[in-house]
Amino acid sequence: MIIKTFVEGPIDANNYLIIDEDTNDAVLIDCSDPREEFVKEIKKTGVKLKYILLTHGHFDHILGVDKFKEVFGVDAYISTEDLPQVRTSPEMIKMFTGFSVSGVKTINHFTKDGEEFTFGNSKIKVIATAGHTEGGLCYLIENKLFSGDTLFYQSVGRCDLPGGNLRQIIHSVKDILFKLPDDTEVFPGHGGKTTIGFEKKYNEILNM
């Protein structure tokens, strides 16, 4: 498995391209930007993109979906609970950046806790982690967790936006993600990598 990180979009979100080396099939976790340079970067890898898997519906993780659907013919998956986030993303982007953009229209495939996506000889599993948004999802492949805005290096996602819930994110992190093995590598939606073992010692959620 090869993992490539692309920092994209208006709030520098991490987009992760995960490539099954045997077949060159790939999935993209989050799709933050429709710009041509990002499309070219993905094309350059020569992979066969099978799915876009979205961690949640905030605009800074989904803005490239329509463009990628057009160019690569690939479907984007999200939880149904986060559809309201997709629908209100034009208002949110206006609030955060001052820019007016049209909404993302091609997020119309859904997934939920426990489902698996197969690409090549690899399988990636969905773990529901509400709290940052109602329908936040993480994705686990082998010992690698793609944690979206649920778990960051020494921190967790904010809960003060619509759909956020502090009690839920505490449950998601402490009772679900911290049950994974300590050596699980964590690839967050923003910022640098970490591990479950490190976060079990140093994450701010321990004081919440």
Q: What residues between 95 and 134 interact with Zn ion by CB under 5 A? A: none
Least distance to Zn ion, CB of residue 56, Å: 6
**Site membership for Zn ion, residue 30 (CB under 5 A):** no
Which segment (7-15, 58-66, 84-92, 106-114) binds Zn ion by CB under 5 A? 58-66
Number of residues engaging Zn ion in binding (CB under 5 A): 2
Tell me which of 6, 31, 58, 136 binds Zn ion, using CB under 5 A: 58
Least distance to Zn ion, CB of residue 161, Å: 7
Least distance to Zn ion, CB of residue 146, Å: 14
User: Do the strands 144-148 and 185-188 form a parallel or antiparallel pair, or are they unpaired?
Assistant: parallel
Question: Of the candidates 155, 154, 137, 146, which has an alpha carbon nearest to the alpha carbon of residue 189?
Answer: 146
Whether 186 contacts 147, CB under 8 Å: yes
Q: Which residue is nearest to Zn ion (CB)?
A: 58
Task: State both tokens at 171.
Answer: 């449950």
**Site membership for Zn ion, residue 149 (CB under 5 A):** yes
For residue 77, count other CB atoms closer than 10 A to its CB: 20
Least distance to Zn ion, CB of residue 190, Å: 8
Quick check: helix, strand or coil at residue 105?
A: coil
CA–CA gap between residue 89 and residue 196 (Å, rounded) = 31
Q: Helix (H) and strand (E) counts for the chain?
A: 7, 14
Which segment (11-19, 50-58, 96-104, 190-198) binds Zn ion by CB under 5 A? 50-58
Interacting residues toward Zn ion by CB under 5 A:
58, 149
